[in-house]
Structure 1
Amino acid sequence: MSSHHPQAPSPRLFSARPVSLLPTEELARRALDSPLMRATVGLSRWCGPVTPVDADGLPDLHDTLTAINEFGLWPRTLCRDPERRSAWTAKITSPAQAEDFLIPWHTARHLGMIECGAGQARPAPELERWLGSTGRVLHWWTLAFHQCAERALRGTAGLDPRTALGRLYESPDGARVPLRLVTQEILPARQTHYLPTRHPPWSTALLTRALWQLNDAGAVALGWHTPGTDTTGAHGHRPEPAWVQLTDLGRFGIRQLLLAEEQPAPLTEEFIRLGADEFLDALADFSPDGQLVALTAWLDARPPDRALREIVSASSGPGLALRRWNATMALGSISSRIEPELRALLRSRDPTVVSLASVVLLASRMLTAPEQDGLTSAYGHWTAIDMFAAATCLGETGLKSFLGSEAAEGIDRFLLNDVPRLWNPEHPETREVLRLLGRHHPDPSIAARARAAETHAPPPA
């Protein structure tokens, strides 16, 4: 019998993990300090008192170039090369060619910072007052961020923003996610016969370009393993970043996006107040990274002995196999601090309590070899049935996923090598588990043995 905690397979979409946010005043300050908002606010002030614009709401070429030089709105690869900047400027014949000017200009108009009419652009009359409002600033930045995410991820890299940003949102706060992993996990699969596990280089390049746009919005930070390599090299080429990190501002923005789509996006301070029953049930809906964050937050908010009491109370009894599965994962993370209490639970008359304690102790590796053998002999079959019963709670797809996983390897043979032990003591879901193993197990020989064990089950008491 395995002595580690398997991850619960689930065919469902994961809920967003709990997050902590900075105070709104600090978020607003960071929003205004982001390159995109700095340029947007700067252009809004610059166009006053009035600036002539064409039918598309764009300044003439002379005014555009003036703004580009004043606010440094050149292409990223030219920012540190005055000679190439001058050459690029000389080739510009229309404001429409200056993307790094157009984005903040259009953003300012979209947010209402700039008003256009009668061939003139001017700052909104309430601009300075609005800039002093935390709520207004965060509303502006959220709209700009969502627009940027659509433009950068869907428009540039052909990715769904929710999918791409969700990978970063699930990472623990402050995590630097290697760009290689981001590329592997969120870029669409490419059907190549010669290198099926690799993505074409241009895919990574498009993702990197999209991430630079999100970096300008203040939503992500990009970095390199070696300090000082974030400079533009020869011919304007910039080395590919090694990692990407979601900023506090980006976390706020993604959460606003989730809420706008009516998706659950809990705050940590709300999540840690959940009772043990709601906490354990919620774990099944988080991604593996989200589970780690949720476990840490909830358990850190209470003493280990109290957490144990609450979890045991919420997960004891029939029909709670999936909750016990999550309970073993939660208690396993604090097992070294509650070893005496776990050992005391082994004396309980409730098999659900004993099973829970035995799984946690076996996984903790705090037991001697004779103690491990004793627990496995006494409660191994009951606990294994409970584990399969938890997998069945996730539906047919979840069960099949579990049966094909490394976590299930050996448990099925352990059960069926000593069939009489299945009924002493009998788990209330033994018959249903055997029926489902007989129907869905990918190994025909094990499936046949499960059907035979079900056929020879003793009559219900």
Structure 2
Amino acid sequence: MAADRLELPPVRLLPEEELARLALAVPLLDRAVRLARWCAPHVTVDAMGELTAQDVPRAVRELGLEEQPDGPADAAQAWGVAVDAGLVDLDIEDEDEDDEEAAAGSVALDEPAGRAVPGAALGRLDAGGPREVLEVWLAALDTALAEAATPDLDGLLEELGPDGEVDLGSLDWDPEEEAEFLDGALANLYLFTAMEDSGGDAKDAVPLPVLAASLVVPEDVEEPSDALLEDVTEVMMRLDEHFRLLTTIGLLEYQPLDEALIEEAESEDDGPAETAAVFPEEIGPEEVSRYGLVRLTPLGVYGVRSRMADAGMHAPVAGDLAGEPAAVLLEALFQYPDQIARREADAWLGNRKPYDAARELLEAARGEDRNAPGRRLVAQQTLSLLGDEAEPALREVLADRQLGGLARVWLTEREAADVPAPDEDMIFWLTVDTIAAQLDADDDPELLRELVTDLVARHDGFFTAAWRVDHPATADVLEAMGRIHPDKRLAKEARKAAFKARSAGTAAP
């Protein structure tokens, strides 16, 4: 695949109205909204903007969390989201710089230092439309992600230094690194979701070991070493901790890692779980759920895509290409999975008459740049979706060196009459062009090897004629055939032909 092509396939998003309904039902956002309404006309807060001790029980009761052991913590989390999302505005008094008590640092954090009132975002939520609701949810998501990437406060307090401050240097934790790690995991989960083409339903959960391996195991590694398996285990542990915290914001659905597996690994390894291989090299289908399953919700797909777009990444949405020129369509479809490419091509063709669509596709397929063979391959696949009404457009290019071969393929597949046979030059040119496109796609090495082997077998003296083909990729294709062909003698012939093609190209004026 060409490095300058798009990297993310498109996702299908639910309508904004439906996404907004889902956002309003998210437990964490629902609690934050309820606390924002509850604080009217105002409640007192401490210097950090947190609820004072006397108001925390009231907030817990407001949320109906009295019977929950984590009720105060959940209320505090919802309050933090309300503040960060603008559902609550803070008005905290500034301490007098000359105040001796403040200078001495003796002011208790829990003492009232200001007040909180319902914020502007609450008004937008009540009066606005789906877009406003989703903006508030995205702000809440940012807060939840930041919290998930932050170590437990109790753990930090255990690391207090002699001066009463946390020594971040002594912690095995870097806030920026942890946030990037979590973003990377969500990006990979997003990619898995897009590749599954689940239509916004995110039906297929990803096993936690698979997601963890995608973050640490290089693509060219077939058999992970014990060290790599331990790295995967460590990443699983980190993801498990993060994902447990993210279910209440509606980002994902998560079936946690079975803690019994961790205990088993510790006992077998006689060491900490972080260095023990929690899972075997192969996991049976009936056991996979014990190792954790995660999937983005439809709201999660929307949220991760929004964050990617804000970061400057191109994260397309299904149907975006329907109104684009053919050249944009062909460049994009080249790197899409087959099922998604077919869906996008159908949407593009649905907006055009068959004859007009065929002419536009053929014109966009021309060119001698690096991506041109890929465009022609995709054009041929897209043209195959058109019926007989497109035939006149294909006949118009029969004499064209770049397009005549694929036009003949299209007409022959439909058993059209009076299709002129291609000359040898056109056959070899189309052969080089097709292999060049397959090399650029780099999808299935075994399939490419079979294609190369079959082509050489069907043409006596293939390499004697092939090096003369006037195609920009001739030398590259012949070199690749020399690497791919299983027959050593023919592979050597391919390399010699590549040398001749390069020499001819150098000598040409």
TM-score, length-normalised on structure 2?
0.63
SS at 2:309's partner residue?
helix
Higher relative contact order structure (alpha carbons within 8 Å, sequence separation ≥ 6): 1
Q: Give the Cα–Cα distance (whole angstroms) in 2 for the partners of residues 176 and 342 of structure 1.
A: 43
1:8-407 equivalent positions in 2, closer than 5 A: 9-12=1-4, 14-19=6-11, 21-22=13-14, 24-61=16-53, 63-72=55-64, 85=68, 88=69, 98=73, 100-116=74-90, 117-118=92-93, 119=112, 120-124=114-118, 126=120, 128-131=122-125, 132-134=127-129, 135-152=131-148, 155=178, 158-161=181-184, 163-167=187-191, 170-171=194-195, 172=197, 173=199, 174-180=201-207, 183=211, 186-189=214-217, 193-194=225-226, 203-204=235-236, 206-208=238-240, 210-221=242-253, 242=293, 244-247=295-298, 249-268=299-318, 270-284=320-334, 286=336, 291=341, 293-302=343-352, 306-316=356-366, 320-332=372-384, 334=385, 337=387, 341=391, 348-357=398-407, 381-390=428-437, 394=440, 401=442, 405-407=445-447
SS at 2:207's partner residue?
helix
Q: 1:220 to 1:62 in 2, by over 3 A?
A: same
Q: Could you tell me how far 1:149 is from its partner in structure 2?
A: 3.6
The residue type paired with residue 411 of structure 1 is L
Q: Give the Cα–Cα distance (whole angstroms) in 2 for the partners of residues 241 and 55 of structure 1.
A: 40
Q: Could you tell me how far 1:323 is from its partner in structure 2?
A: 0.9
Contact preservation (8 Å) 1:441, 1:447: yes
Q: Give the Cα–Cα distance (whole angstroms) in 2 for the partners of residues 138 and 105 of structure 1.
A: 19
Worse-matched range after superposition: 198-207 or 33-42: 198-207
Q: Give the Cα–Cα distance (whole angstroms) in 1 for the partners of residues 3 and 120 of structure 2.
A: 50
Q: Could you tell me how far 1:40 is from its partner in structure 2?
A: 1.0
Matched, 1:408 2:408: no
Which protein shows a greater Rg? 2
SS at 2:50's partner residue?
coil
Once superposed, what is the RMSD of the aligned Cα atoms?
4.7
Match of 1:419 in 2: 461
Per-residue CA deviations over 1:41-69 (Å, capped at 9, x if unaligned) read 11122233333333333224453244334
Q: 1:410 to 1:270 in 2, by over 3 A?
A: closer
Per-residue CA deviations over 1:87-139 (Å, capped at 9, x if unaligned) read x36xx9xx5xx2x3332211111122223324244223546532222354332
The residue type paired with residue 218 of structure 1 is G
Q: Give the Cα–Cα distance (whole angstroms) in 2 for the partners of residues 58 and 46 of structure 1.
A: 15
SS at 1:159's partner residue?
helix
Percent identical pairs in the alignment equals 23
Structure 2 unaligned regions, length at least 5: 94-111, 150-176, 257-288, 416-420
Q: 1:55 to 1:385 in 2, by over 3 A?
A: same
Contact preservation (8 Å) 1:271, 1:298: yes
Q: Could you tell me how far 1:419 is from its partner in structure 2?
A: 3.0
Q: Could you tell me how far 1:306 is from its partner in structure 2?
A: 4.9
Structure 1 unaligned regions, length at least 5: 1-8, 75-81, 225-237, 368-373
Figure out how many residues of one structure are paired with residues of the other and give that number.
404
TM-score, length-normalised on structure 1?
0.68
Contact preservation (8 Å) 1:157, 1:203: no
Match of 2:475 in 1: 432
